[in-house]
Chains A and B, each alone.
Chain A
Amino acid sequence: MNLEIITPDKTIYKGEADVVQLPGIDGSFEILNNHAPLISALAKGKIKVGKGKSEDFYDINGGVIEVLDNKVLILAE
């Protein structure tokens, strides 16, 4: 799936990813390929982006996520 993480200042991630783990305001959740359309608010925490065997972490201070047509867009702070 296509993942994009943007903050007001810059784009911090753009590209393919296999799995994204996110800090939702009601607890952590994970998004895999072909997820149903979703809009959710995020709490302060870490985003884990998994691609193949590698994993990347990004700290965010809250945000919003939108999933649509296998495209994940995270508006982080």
Chain B
Amino acid sequence: MANLKEVRIRIASVQSTMQITSAMKMVAAAKLRKAQNAVTTMRPYAAKLQEIMQDLSSSLEDSNENVLTTARPSEKILLVVITSNRGLCGAFNMNVVKEAIKQVEGEFSPQLKKGHVDFYCVGKKGADILSAKGYSIKEVESAVFDNLNFENVSLLANNLMGQFSNGDYDKIVLFYNQFKNAAVQILQSEQFLPVVEPAPDETTKKEQRHVDYIFEPGKREIVTELIPKSLKIQFYKALLDSFAAEHGARMTAMHQATDNATELLKDLKLTYNKARQAAITNEILEIVSGAEALKG
């Protein structure tokens, strides 16, 4: 039987750990609400922009000679891995990194051998894991999560677009966790550049609400204006989603940790009480036998 003092110390340490995890859970829950709000406020914007884009791009399929939309042979590839800055959120970061590595080793292995695959990490944790695995990381961007708003994100997106149109990279792919609900994150990998054609399943719906719009100054000019905008939105959406998913993952992880601590505490208390009773029984035995000896 464990010694009383040892058990007491363990109980105290489990209790204080539990306090930390439950506090972190609350904080994550509060942050999650904020992040979720941000996702929901930008959703109508993204949906409308997408709608307008589709209206326009379907009407001028033929000659779209924009740099951002032309696919080139994918020689140099940039993988944008969106993770979190802080740990203690379960398998959140690991999942993204694993998926990215899987794609690199599979689809992009010829480019990897030539050293034409670069990682651009948003969030420190992804960079930590990747560099531990021996991949070269081109850049780490961690400050963006401190103040996640559209302005900061569009700077990053502009940067990426610039590198693509310069020819530094022929293909840019995003990896991130999409927020579904607090417990579930869906792993996403989507091509950022060159722009992929929007899915054509919307065409039937669009036919019904066909409106004769006036296009000012012209369809092509508007499309040229809109492509960078929709890319920025896509990037922003990925970041917001990942941010919300991070807090969701942390909340779930911390909830589990708190539950585990409660379980552990219950066991420890039982052990402690058993030890205490055994000690009392022992003492009584000693006293009684001492008294017996005196009598005899």
Contact = CB atoms under 8 A, between A and B. Distances in A.
B42 A9 contact: yes
B41 interface: yes
A40 B222 contact: yes
A37 B213 CA distance: 5
Overall SS of chain B's interface: helix
B225 interface: yes
A50 interface: no
A21 to B, nearest CB: 14
Nearest to B217: A26
Given A6-B45, A29-B216, A39-B222, A68 B211 contact: yes
Given A9-B38, A37-B211, A24 B225 contact: no
B45 A8 contact: yes
A77 B229 contact: yes
A1 interface: no
A19 interface: no
A46 to B, nearest CB: 18
Overall SS of chain A's interface: strand
Contacts of A32: none
B13 interface: no
A: interface residue count bin? 20 to 34
Interface in A25-46: 25-26, 29, 36-41
Given A9-B38, A10-B41, A39-B222, A62 B229 contact: yes
A6 B44 contact: yes
Interface residues of B, number: 28
Interface in B220-277: 221-222, 225-226, 229, 233, 236
B214 interface: yes
A51 B257 CA distance: 56
Given A11-B41, A41-B222, A25 B215 contact: no
B38 A39 contact: no
B45 A41 contact: no
Nearest to B41: A10
A66 B41 contact: no
Contacts of B150: 7-9, 77
Interface in B169-211: 211
Contacts of B46: 8
Give the 6 A-B residue pairs with the shortest CB-CB distance, closest first. Answer: A41-B225, A40-B216, A8-B150, A38-B214, A8-B42, A26-B217
5 contacts: A8-B233, A36-B214, A39-B215, A66-B213, A75-B49
Interface of A: 6-11, 24-26, 29, 36-41, 62-64, 66, 68, 73, 75, 77
Interface of B: 38, 41-42, 44-46, 48-49, 52, 55-56, 149-150, 154, 211-217, 221-222, 225-226, 229, 233, 236
